[in-house]
Amino acid sequence: MANSHLIPTYKRQPVAFERGHGAWLFDGDGNRYLDALSGIAVSALGHSHPALVEAITNQASTLLHTSNLYEIDVQTRLADRLCALSGMDAVFFGNSGSEANEAAIKLARLHGHNRGIDMPVIVVMESAFHGRTLAALAATGNANAQKGFEPMPAGFVRVPYGDIDAIAALEDHNIVAVHVEPIQGEGGVRVPPADFLPALRRLCDKRDWLMMIDEVQTGVGRTGHWFAHQAAGITPDVMCLAKGLGGGVPIGAALVASAAGELFGPGSHGSTFGGNPLACRAALAVLDTIEHDGLLAHAGAMGESIREQIEARVGELDHVVEIRGAGLMIGIELSEPCAELVDAAREQGILLNVTAGSVIRLLPPLIIGPAEVERLVDGVCHLIESMTTTQTMQAD
């Protein structure tokens, strides 16, 4: 690819896939790979799922795009379905997680201005990831991602993830919202204390702050619930979705509840492609399939099986710090950087990635079966065990 005209914003692995089926991808030489990354939590139904293929094909044969200057029936149906599943009141559709988070940030600022606050401030978390657009990047807690794009937009204050006392101690009267992931994905599959989200909900209610949940990676069944925050028994004021919602077709959504639903009006926000017929038809097919095939319970069971098996086999090794996650969002933290395991896994026919430097991240499709779980567990454990062998040889 030396003559490629692509801007080199990605450090790509030396493999190109020609087709996929279920939880497997195939390259041009016919080699198959177990996809334990799902396009970074996107391919919720795996590859070439017949229900999704049929929905996309049928919609493409009738109507792809009209713009939001007109009514879009399938968009309305998707909004109704998402609100029924989430308990939220209304939806704005965009094309990505960054756009969904941008909409949330704009909603928070409108909320502040409506309260007479000229310089609204949003509380965000250390190690958070909310996207690559400038406002979403400013909310992101990753200095490397921000480097070179300074100055970052103002209006954010950062606290340790999961620390409700640190948030409660903030005395800035310009604070209007808290923006948080229910489980941090890029930050290392970090799970907050069990009482964190309920306590945050109570604090936001007390101080008239919007509680904004970024479910871009955790949403749409990934953790064994439709949305990860539902495990905590709370409802946010704003929820951001993308990734798995379209099963591979780009779509993002910002859902709003209560008074937050009244902040946007005609002309206050928009998206040319957001919620077009193709994307919405794909998303409806994803939701229908998850519900019809019982994939929420399946994801919970498969994820528990993966974590338990890995724990039983390598959990006692000195360099395994913690195995954590929910559903099919799993992180295995090691005591040292382990980026080299990505290449080693691919050579074994498994696709995964390493995030936060030392966390093996597993995001297999929701349709993964027991035999594929066994293959994944065996491969990942072999990689972790091989690190012990390498360390011993180096010590000798």
For residues 82-94, average pLDDT? 97
What's the pLDDT at 259? 75
Average pLDDT over residues 127-143: 96
How confident is the model at residue 265, as a pLDDT? Answer: 85
Task: Assess whether pLDDT exceeds 60 at residue 390.
Answer: no
In this prediction, residue 3 has a pLDDT band, given cuts at 50, 70 and 90, of low
Catalytic annotation, pick one of 35, 214, 227, 264: 214
**Whose CA is closest to 27, among 349, 348, 366?**
349
Cα–Cα distance, 79 to 65 (Å, whole number): 17
Taking Cα atoms as reference points, which of 249, 250, 343, 381 lies closest to residue 33? 343
Q: How far is CA 365 from the centre of its chain?
A: 13
In this structure, what token pair is assigned to residue 146? 């921000």
92 is catalytic: no
Q: Is the pLDDT of residue 231 over 90?
A: yes
What's the confidence (pLDDT) of residue 96? 97
Q: How confident is the model at residue 4 (pLDDT cuts 50, 70, 90)?
A: confident
Q: What is the pLDDT of residue 291?
A: 98
User: Does residue 391 surpass a pLDDT of 80?
Assistant: no
User: Within 13 Å and on the Cβ side, how many CA atoms surround 266?
Assistant: 2
Helix axis angle for 370-395 and 295-314, nearest 10°, is 30
Is the preceding omega at residue 151 within 30 degrees of 0, hence cis?
Answer: yes
pLDDT single digits (tens) 316-359:
999 999 999 999 999 999 999 999 999 999 999 999 999 999 99
CA 314 to chain centre: 27
Please state which of the ranges 2-6, 119-123, 244-248 shows the lowest mean pLDDT.
2-6
Question: Which one of the listed residues 35, 156, 227, 243 is annotated catalytic?
Answer: 243
Mean pLDDT of 29-40: 97
Average pLDDT for residues 82-91, to the nearest whole number? 97
Band of residue 264 on the pLDDT scale cut at 50, 70, 90 = confident
Could you tell me which residues are beta bridge partners of residue 320? 334
Distance CA 362, CA 331 (A): 6
At residue 389, the pLDDT reads: 56
Only one residue has tokens 């049928």, namely 58
Q: What's domain 17-49+294-395's superfamily in CATH?
A: Aspartate Aminotransferase, domain 1 (3.90.1150.10)
> Does 393 score more than 70 pLDDT?
no
Calculate mean pLDDT across residues 292-297: 98
* Strands, sheet with 90-94, edge to edge from the N-terminal-most edge strand: 90-94, 252-256, 238-241, 210-214, 175-180, 121-125, 156-159
pLDDT bucket at 44, cuts 50 / 70 / 90: very high
Place of tokens 């074994």: 348
User: Of the CATH numbers 3.40.640.10, 1.10.3720.10, 2.40.30.10, 3.40.50.620, which one belongs to the domain with range 51-292?
Assistant: 3.40.640.10
Q: How far apart are CA 122 and CA 141, in angstroms?
A: 13
Position 260 scores a pLDDT of 74
Q: What is the reported pLDDT for 268? A: 87
106 assigned to active site: no
Task: Give the residue with greater pLDDT, 360 vs 388.
Answer: 360
**pLDDT tops 80 at residue 292:** yes
- State the pLDDT at residue 23: 98
Does residue 56 register a pLDDT over 60?
yes
- Whether 214 is catalytic: yes
CA-based nearest residue to 240, from 142, 106, 357, 150: 106
Identify the pLDDT of residue 394. 55
pLDDT mean across residues, the chain? 95
Domain borders along the chain are 17-49+294-395, 51-292
Give this prediction's pTM: 0.94
Contact 123, 170 (CB under 8 A): yes
The one catalytic residue in 129, 156, 227, 264 is 129
What is the C-alpha separation between 318 and 228, in angstroms, rounded?
Answer: 31
